[in-house]
Amino acid sequence: MMALALGALAIGFAPVFAAIAQKPEYGGYGPASIGFYRVFFALPLMWLVLWAAPGKAHPAPRREKRPTGLLALAGFFFAVDLVSWHWSIKFTTVANATLLANFALLWVTMWAGRLFGEKIQPRFFIALGLAFTGAFILMDASFQLSPDQLFGDALSLLTAISYGSYMLTVKKLRETCPPQEIMAWSGLFAVPLMFVAALASGETLLSSNLNGWVVLLGLALVSHFAGQGLIAYAFGHLPASLTSLNLLLQPVFAAVLGWVLLGQAMGGQQLLGASVVLGALAFVNRPRRAK
């Protein structure tokens, strides 16, 4: 649970890094380019960790061969997740993109029982409803439904399905793979797809601005290497449904970090929404007394 919370906090920095990298004084990078560098800059460190400790950090059960197909599938889902989310921001509001993307936990919950035999308890559904209510309150100030934004909203839902599928694939891989192997190989498969998407977007890929490179490096190390790595570790120890629900900490952390680092004000409505989300997660994670 500590690894999951720290991972959600690290990913909460992603919108902050992305917002800074898009400013002209930091290179003016586009969303697709930022997503590409997020994975590309983290990849060498992932492989260094895998080479230094291929199975020492968390030994996996014996297996006959590396599940290359599943690793490639994880990379594919993650690439689609990042590309579709970054592109959705162009066609809808950030609030819509963030809130709709969190429907990934519904996708995970729907498949967790079938794929992993998880039994979903009634209190989980209560917490799920409360958490979504809190997330909606948190984003409601800028959330809006409009015919002009349907394409962007559809991309946000594609983000939810692809990210949920990525989490389910990671959960399956954790049965035989340590987290460092999953991150290294899935990143290797994701980078070429994201590079093509960045080229197709026509956005800035190179800049002489040193500050912009530092921001992109921070995004790669904090949000991807540390954040996704910790979450991949947590998937080996927690049910997929519970893990995905706790990742609703991400928009809460993102809102707080935007307030602290970017001066984006948090009013009473945002504080209420964040409190409801945190209360729902405290409710579902509280230890149950033994009979």
The pLDDT tens digits of the residues spanning 62-98 come to: 556 888 999 999 999 999 998 888 777 777 766 667 7
Give the tokens for residue 97. Answer: 């993109």
> By the 8 A CB rule, do 39 and 82 touch?
yes
Q: Cβ distance 141 to 266 under 8 Å?
A: no
Q: Is residue 63 part of a domain?
A: no
* Residue 134 belongs to some domain of the structure: yes
CB 184 within 8 A of CB 92: no
The count of structural domains within the chain is: 1
The C-alpha atoms of residue 71 and residue 61 are separated, in whole angstroms, by 17
Domain span at 218: 2-54+84-285
**Looking at residue 127, what is its pLDDT?**
82
Per DSSP, the three-state class of 242 is: helix
Question: Do 278 and 252 form a contact (C-beta atoms < 8 A)?
Answer: yes
**Torsion on CA atoms 217, 222, 224, 228, rounded to nearest 10:** 170
Distances (CA, A) of 102 to 58, 75, 81, 220: 29, 19, 12, 21
Domain for residue 259, yes or no?
yes
Most confident of 180-189, 247-256, 281-290: 180-189
Tokens 């690439």 correspond to what residue?
A: 79
Task: Please write the tens of the pLDDT for every residue from 27-43.
Answer: 888 878 888 999 999 99
Categorise residue 289: left if φ over 0, alpha if ψ from -120 to 50, beta otherwise. Answer: beta
Residue range 231-260: mean pLDDT, rounded: 78
In a domain, 71, yes or no: no
- Which letter, b or e, does each residue of 96-133 get, where b requires 16 or more Cβ atoms within 10 Å of its Cβ? bbbbbbbbbbbbbbebbeeeeebeeeeebeebbebbbe
Distance CA 62, CA 178 (A): 11
Q: With contact defined as beta carbons under 8 Å apart, do 105 and 164 qualify?
A: yes
Is residue 201 one of the residues assigned to a domain?
yes
Task: State pLDDT tens for residues 177-219.
Answer: 888 899 999 999 999 999 998 888 888 788 888 888 999 999 9
73 and 251 in contact (C-beta within 8 Å)? no
In a domain, 49, yes or no: yes
Q: Write out pLDDT tens, residues 119-171.
A: 777 877 788 788 778 777 766 555 555 666 778 788 888 988 998 999 899 98
**Helix (H) or strand (E) run with residue 262 in it:** helix 249-262
- What contacts 287, CB < 8 A, 6 or more positions away? none
Mean pLDDT of 22-28: 86
d(CA 21, CA 34): 8
Fill in the amino acid letter for 204: T
- The answer to whether residue 67 is domain-embedded is no
**Residue 222, pLDDT above cutoff 90:** yes
Q: Would you call 147 exposed, middle or buried from its count of C-beta atoms within 10 A (0-12, 13-18, 19+)?
A: exposed
With contact defined as beta carbons under 8 Å apart, do 181 and 51 qualify? no
In a domain, 77, yes or no: no
Q: What span, in angstroms and rounded, lies between the C-alpha atoms of 105 and 128? A: 9
Answer yes or no: is pLDDT of 58 > 60: no
